[in-house]
Amino acid sequence: MEKVLILDFGGQYNQLIARRVRECNVYCEVHPYTMTVEAIKAYSPIGIIFTGGPGSVYEDDSPQVDSAVFGLGVPVLGICYGCQLLAHNLGGRVTPAQNDSAREYGKTETWYDTSCSIFKGLPEKGISWMSHGDYMAKIPVGFQLTAHSAACPNVAISDDTRRFYGVQFHPEVNHTAYGTQMIRNFLYEVCGAHGDWTMEDYKNTAIRRIRERVGSGKVLLALSGGVDSSVCAALLAEAIGSQLTCVFVDHGLMRLNEGDEVEQAFSKWSINFIRVNAESRFLLKLAGEAEPECKRKIIGEEFIRVFEEEAKKIGAVDYLAQGTIYPDVIESGAGTAAVIKSHHNVGGLPEYVDFKEIIEPLNILFKDEVRQLGRALGLPEYLVSRQPFPGPGLAIRIIGDITKEKADTLRQADFIFRDEIAKAGQDRCLSQYFAVLTNTRSVGVMGDGRTYDYTLALRAVTTDDFMTADWARVPYDVLDHISRRIVNEVHDINRIVYDITSKPPATVEWE
Ligand code: XMP
């Protein structure tokens, strides 16, 4: 199988590069920049990509690559820091950008030399996503300039003879208009890839690795019934069959009727399935807690404690499996990334977990890739294309402290929202939509009387990968109908607002 090696220099978009390569049907792996040249040779990649990173190549302690890598005869694409690394190692000069104009951040109009293999078949002008404070003051001998912007003459470089290419911008980010095409060009035009990798291969490799790791051991899967854990269940069931037990914890913060629906759906599968009703225990632990990160950590810990208890009942369970996906990892603050929120299954895990190992076979995949994997595993479309529902459930959609009464109020309102969205045929256009019970009360008038009740927020977004999202333009008349129904039917709510913030700067969930 053709393999591409991605050498990781600590940038925030590194898994996104891997994802773009996979999208082009080429297998790839991300390895730390410290990988030795012998190990690289043994890996025998058809091409190497150097990622971006926060360092400056001219600083003493900056991440470097063994320069023997340039003698392997393997094509290299350097992205941002990776581009500067190429220049720095091959006789060019990288300096801090002298003035603000050579430093570039965000969407930047860029001119490409379309005779360069990387830009082949592209328009001569497009938007690229820049994020660099350093500048290639001198490009190395043997290289040509192949792109520029208004502020910066040295945006991309190429040496067709040695097959080395560098771009200062980030082709892997959606905001770079033809970015995937550029990566495809590197893979197919420069590295000579044939595109022999598919999600079916990912499935087979994952199954093989799970079998190797688990042997004849027993695995307990934390199943929420959402897309990720359901796909994970199908994958593990195929890999290890009856060695797997799926445990679904109903923490009392599921949507209306959801606990019963999950149980019904999974009892039809030929897997070991256990439902644990744990509403009172979760509500007790959460009582009086209003701080979002604390709520997440309480839930993360309580889940683990329930799984540990169930594992003891089953006996000799060494492995806990979770349907963690890549955005959960990165938002919980992996490596040098900032903590945005502690996803219950990553940053929300307690320090001590009484399992030998945690298995997360989806943790390099993005949401839409998980859906593709689900299809490759033969899961029905309704299950695979469902909107996500977070593990902490309504706990992170009730702002302020949580009570059973508030959860019941939110459940009813959320049900009406989803029901009306489906009736209006809007569900197919939306990636995720739900209601949030704010802890703001306001004055209203109903009948002839004064009310002083909760404000409910409606949230609907469109997105591919949930790393960024746009607020959805749901038609006003649909919103109007939903608003009337909720206020009429749900006790305690007298005002509805619609969230018109994208991600970033907001996140999808309110907490
Ligand atoms: P945010 O709010 O981070 O949400 O923009 C991105 C996606 O992740 C889901 N989400 C979670 N899923 N455990 C989960 O299983 C969590 O702790 C969690 N927090 C957010 C969210 O619903 C959206 O789909």
- The helix/strand/coil state of 182 is helix
Residue 228 CA: which ligand 1 atom is closest?
A: 15
Determine the pLDDT at residue 454.
98
Q: Phi/psi of residue 257, each to 5°?
A: 65, 5
Task: Please indicate whether residue 83 is annotated as part of the active site.
Answer: no
341 CA → ligand 1 middle, Å = 9
Q: DSSP secondary structure string, 291-352?
A: -HHHHHHHHHHHHHHHHHHHHHHH--EEEEE----HHHHHHTT-TTPPPS---TTTTTS-S-
Q: Is the predicted pLDDT of residue 344 greater than 90, yes or no?
A: no
Atom of ligand 1 nearest to the CA of 224: 15
Closest ligand 1 atom to 342 CA: 17
Does the pLDDT at position 103 exceed 90?
A: no
Q: Which pairing describes strands 218-223 and 164-167: parallel, antiparallel, or unpaired?
A: unpaired
- 344 pocket-lining for ligand 1 (C-beta < 6 Å): yes
In 426-499, where do the E strands start and end? 432-446, 449-462, 470-471, 493-498
Question: Does the annotation mark 294 as catalytic?
Answer: no
Q: H helices within 337-475, ranges in order?
A: 367-376, 381-384, 404-423
Instruction: Please name the residue whose Cα sits nearest to atom 7 of ligand 1.
Output: 466
pLDDT band at 46 (very low <50, low <70, confident <90, very high): very high
Compute the distance from residue 227 Cα to the ligand 1 centre, in Å.
12
More confident residue, 29 or 162: 162
Report whether 472 contacts 503 (CB < 8 A).
no
Has 80 been annotated as catalytic? Answer: yes
Q: Whose CA is nearest to atom 4 of ligand 1?
A: 508
Query: Considering Cα of 85, then 91, then 92, then 95, what sign does the dihedral take?
Result: positive
Instruction: Return d(Cα 198, Cα 206) in angstroms, integer.
Output: 13
Q: Is 55 in the pocket of ligand 1 (CB under 6 A)?
A: no
Distance CA 36, CA 5 (A): 12
The response to whether residue 252 sits with its C-beta less than 6 Å from ligand 1 reads no
Whole-number pLDDT of residue 425: 97
**58 C-alpha to center of ligand 1: Å?**
38
Better-predicted residue by pLDDT, 332 or 461? 461
Centre of ligand 1 from the C-alpha of residue 258, in Å = 18
- Nearest residue (CA) to ligand 1, atom 14: 390
Closest Cα to residue 493, out of 422, 434, 411, 419? 411
Residue 319 has pLDDT above 70, yes or no: yes
Nearest CA, atom 11, ligand 1? 390
Q: Which of 132, 170, 343, 344 is catalytic?
A: 170
* 343 ligand 1 Cβ < 6 A: yes
Average pLDDT score over residue span 202-207: 95
Write the pLDDT tens digit of every residue in 231-277.
Answer: 999 999 999 999 999 999 999 999 999 999 999 999 889 999 999 99
* DSSP-derived pairing of the beta strands 144-149 and 104-112: antiparallel
Would you state the pLDDT for residue 274?
97
The overall longest dimension of the chain from CA atoms, in Å, is 83
pLDDT at res. 153: 87
Provide mean pLDDT across the span 486-495. Answer: 97
Query: Please, how many CA atoms are within 13 Å of residue 244, restricted to the half-sphere of its CB?
Result: 23
pLDDT at 335: 62
Ligand 1, atom 8, lies closest to the CA of 390
Distance of CA 347 to the CA centre of its chain: 14
CA–CA gap between residue 445 and residue 456 (Å, rounded):
16
Contact 256, 416 (CB under 8 A): no
Buried b (16+ CB within 10 A) or exposed e, 392-428: bbbbbbbbeebeeebbbbbbbbbbbbbebbeebebee
Instruction: Give the 3-state secondary structure of residue 236.
Output: helix
117-150 pLDDT, tens digit per residue, is 999 999 999 999 987 788 899 999 999 999 999 8
DSSP state string for 24-41: TT-EEEEEETT--HHHHH
Rounded to whole angstroms, what are the CA distances from 286 to 116, 260, 403, 438? Answer: 59, 23, 9, 17
pLDDT band at 227 (very low <50, low <70, confident <90, very high): very high
Cβ proximity of 341 and 300 under 8 Å: no
508 within ligand 1 shell (Cβ under 6 A) = yes
Q: How far apart are CA 274 and CA 281, in angstroms?
A: 17
Q: Does residue 380 have a cis peptide bond before it, meaning omega lies within 30 degrees of 0?
A: no
Ligand 1 mean position, distance from CA 391 (Å): 8
d(C-alpha 386, C-alpha 493), whole Å? 27
Per-residue pLDDT tens over the stretch 426-476: 999 999 999 999 999 999 999 889 999 999 999 999 998 888 899 999 999
* Per-residue DSSP letter, 186: I
Question: Is 336 a residue whose pLDDT tops 60?
Answer: no
pLDDT higher than 60, residue 295:
yes
Q: Which of 295, 368, 501, 508 to mutate to test the pocket of ligand 1 (most atoms within 8 A of CB)?
A: 508
| Average pLDDT, integer, range 173-179 | 92
Q: Whose CA is nearest to atom 17 of ligand 1?
A: 343
25 backbone dihedrals φ, ψ, rounded to 5°: 65, 35
> Does ligand 1 have an atom closer than 6 angstroms to the CB of 507?
yes
- Mean pLDDT for the chain overall: 94
Q: Is 332 in the pocket of ligand 1 (CB under 6 A)?
A: no
Between the CA of 343 and the centroid of ligand 1 the distance, in Å, is 7
Which of 302, 298, 303, 246 lies closest to 270 in space, CA to CA? Answer: 246
Q: Best of 224, 248, 466 to mutate for ligand 1, by most ligand atoms within 8 A of CB?
A: 466
pLDDT above 90 (res 305)? yes
